[in-house]
Copies of this chain bind each other. A is one copy, B any other.
Amino acid sequence: MHFNESRLSALERRYKARLINSLSGFKSANLVGTVSAEGITNLAMVSSVFHLGANPPLVGMIIRPHSVTRDTLENIETTGVYTLNQVSASFWKQAHQTSARYDAETSEFYATGLGEQFREGITAPFVEESALSYALKVAEMTTLAVNDTVMVIGEITDIFVEDIAVMEDGYIDIETLDTVAVSGLDAYHVTQRLGRLAYAKPDLPTRCLGDDE
């Protein structure tokens, strides 16, 4: 099946959104926790969180400024801090429900029943049900000229994770935590590990690591 430029541009709007959203591959599922100047908490589902670098520890995400996530963006601008909370199989439906267009006075914590958790020294709220969550301070916010979406880059200040998932070499086994992956606009998946692979070298065959050998 081949979609070329003219066929792509002729597609019905929703069909095209589902198609293009499927192309990047599996996506991360995270809830962004923020709080407004008035103290109203907010929770928003994002599938665009991506690793940017370990030194300093940075992640990026894309936010649409005129959509349901506008409150998130405003809260981040105002307070400079936010949390990211990995979504797991035990609360994927509640996580998805946060994407409904609640009014600015309604906290998505309240609306979906997810647990609101505050931790010492961190203004933004965490999701109690999440087995891996972290706090960030804003490092950069840029409006992308190509389509007016906003890229938010955050520096990680605090990580909270269940002990059992942190391997000896630093790798976090997020599959053990039942972290879900997203495809397209609305599909959620659990995973089965094929294996971990050793650092690749030109003169060596591909080799599995540890338990996967």
> CA separation between A162 and B5, bound complex, in Å?
18
Which one of B4, B54, B93 contacts A16 once the chains associate, using CB atoms below 8 Å? B54
A23 in the interface (beta carbon within 8 A): yes
User: B2–A159 contact, CB under 8 A?
Assistant: yes
Residues on A lying within 8 angstroms of B by beta carbon are 1-5, 8, 11-30, 47-60, 62, 84, 86-87, 89, 92-94, 96-102, 106, 111, 132, 134, 139-140, 144-147, 149, 151, 153, 156-163, 166-167, 169-175, 179-181, 183-202, 204, 206, 209
User: B147–A86 contact, CB under 8 A?
Assistant: no
> CA separation between A99 and B201, bound complex, in Å?
8
Which one of B106, B181, B202 contacts A26 once the chains associate, using CB atoms below 8 Å? B181
User: A162–B1 contact, CB under 8 A?
Assistant: yes
User: B134–A15 contact, CB under 8 A?
Assistant: no
| Residues of B with C-beta under 8 A to A53 | 20, 146-147, 149
A-B contact pairs, 21 of them (CB 8 A): A11-B170, A13-B55, A16-B170, A20-B156, A23-B59, A23-B159, A25-B29, A25-B30, A26-B26, A26-B174, A27-B50, A27-B51, A52-B147, A140-B146, A146-B153, A171-B187, A186-B209, A189-B191, A189-B194, A191-B192, A192-B192
